[in-house]
Amino acid sequence: MNKDIQGLKRADLMSLEEYSERRNDFRTQVMAHKKNRQVALGPNSRLYFEDRTTIQYQIQEILRIEKIFESSGIDEELDSYNPLIPDGSNWKATFMIEFEDEDERKEALARFIGIETCIWVRVDGLAQVYPIANEDLERQTENKTSAVHFLRFELDQTMIEAAKGGADIYMGVNHPEYSHETGALPRNIADSLTSDLSLHH
């Protein structure tokens, strides 16, 4: 297993004191990193791809806000968040439906039921991969979907090799009420996502 792809441990985290001193710099670094890890699917939805850096930031922020410093509390957060880190054969992403206007959003969430299973990723020349959605909890009712979904895209070795070899990556959504497709992802985004993958996992 690629060392960078293992889950976070307590030793990887900063203490509350160290984090308060380094927070501004770390936050700036994470925000710059996140820019290479988001993909707009049309005007009203976006994929935010998680990795060790984005998840460490989330954990550090929770520990800071809730002032958690006991090891049992820290372990609890690690157990909750580590599954969101890709493990070499997949991409893990938060999918968000984004409408500024609340009424418009409500109306869209009623129309977009099932959208989370209609999102796909594709490495050039190979099959589309649809996600395993919301493994942690059910996020829709019969009347509406949620504005936030958690997705895992599992790639096979052929796809991983092609992506690592620089093949273009495409993404899209093909829900009857909302259908959009990206062109080939910009290289900075493709490279950041490819770094999540490891060969012969």
Kindly report, residue by residue over 128-168, the tens digit of the pLDDT. 999 999 876 666 677 899 999 999 999 999 999 999 999 99
User: Could you tell me the pLDDT band of residue 199, with boundaries at 50, 70 and 90?
Assistant: confident
User: Could you tell me the pLDDT band of residue 95, with boundaries at 50, 70 and 90?
Assistant: very high
Kindly state whether residues 58 and 127 are assigned to the same domain. no
Residue 126, domain CATH = 2.60.40
Kindly state whether residues 27 and 94 are assigned to the same domain. no
Q: Give the C-alpha separation, 2 to 126, whole Å.
A: 24
Structural tokens at position 189: 């985004």
pLDDT at 4: 47
Taking the whole predicted model, whether its pTM rises above 0.85 is answered as yes
Kindly state whether residues 95 and 181 are assigned to the same domain. yes
Structural tokens at position 82: 């580590």
Kindly state whether residues 93 and 143 are assigned to the same domain. yes
Domain total for the chain? Answer: 2
Kindly state whether residues 79 and 148 are assigned to the same domain. no
Name the region of 56 (left: φ>0; alpha: ψ -120 to 50; beta: rest).
Answer: alpha
Name, in order, each residue with C-beta under 8 angstroms of 152's C-beta and a sequence gap of 6 or more: 90, 91, 92, 131, 132, 133, 135
Kindly state whether residues 111 and 187 are assigned to the same domain. yes
Kindly report, residue by residue over 20-54, the tens digit of the pLDDT. 999 999 999 999 999 999 999 999 999 999 999 99
Q: Is the pLDDT of residue 200 over 90?
A: no
Kindly state whether residues 44 and 67 are assigned to the same domain. no
Give residue 175's domain range: 36-50+87-201
Q: Is the pLDDT of residue 110 over 70?
A: yes
